Amino acid sequence: MRRPAGYFEVAGVDLAAELTRLSRLDALGGPAGALASHPPELTVRRPARRPRRRLGFAVPAENRISVTAYPGIGRGDVLETLLHELVHIAVGPAAEGRRWHGREFTAALRAAMAEAYDLTGVTAPSSYHGAYARAIDGHRQTEAA
């Protein structure tokens, strides 16, 4: 499905281009992996205000993800959400334990964040969004200085 110009532009990030780049990460299967060969379909939701729960979602069985672009979303938030959802596609649900945010997911997200954004040592107290977004924004400010 063709999207209008600017559809994938969120917080100064071209999500379509970033999805293509991230899909090739070694942590997610590498350039010859399934994710790079068949990137998921991406949709961008644009609600009138920040959602209370989900900033994005993934449907691995349908190879699609959605990112929520609420008013005022920051670059770190959108990048963290995109990569978080891509990890869901790459890893899928766990067979046991925490179905969506178990050990395999957490390890893959940590490796993908290190590879994509040079983030290591980030303490994420939960699998929900925020810790990596702050680290992405902080890392970018450090690079600019």
Please tell me the pTM assigned to this model: 0.90
Q: Tell whether the model's pLDDT for residue 89 goes beyond 50.
A: yes
Residue 43 lies in a domain: yes
pLDDT confidence of residue 98: 74
Backbone angles phi, psi at 128, to 5 degrees: -85, 170
Residue 3 lies in a domain: no
| CATH number assigned to the domain comprising residue 118 | 3.30.2010.10
Mean pLDDT is lowest, of 15-19, 39-43, 44-48, 54-58, for 54-58
Residue 88 lies in a domain: yes
**47 secondary structure, DSSP code:** -
pLDDT confidence of residue 126: 63
pLDDT confidence of residue 10: 97
Residue 1 lies in a domain: no
| Residue range of the domain that includes 126 | 9-144
Average pLDDT of the residues in 83-104: 87
- As for how many domains the chain has, the answer is 1
Average pLDDT of the residues in 133-139: 85
pLDDT confidence of residue 33: 95
Measured CA to CA, the distance from residue 90 to residue 105 in angstroms comes to 9
Mean pLDDT is lowest, of 44-48, 84-88, 122-126, for 122-126
pLDDT confidence of residue 122: 86
Q: Tell whether the model's pLDDT for residue 144 goes beyond 70.
A: no
Residue 2 lies in a domain: no
Edge to edge, what strands does the sheet with 41-45 contain? 41-45, 64-68, 56-59
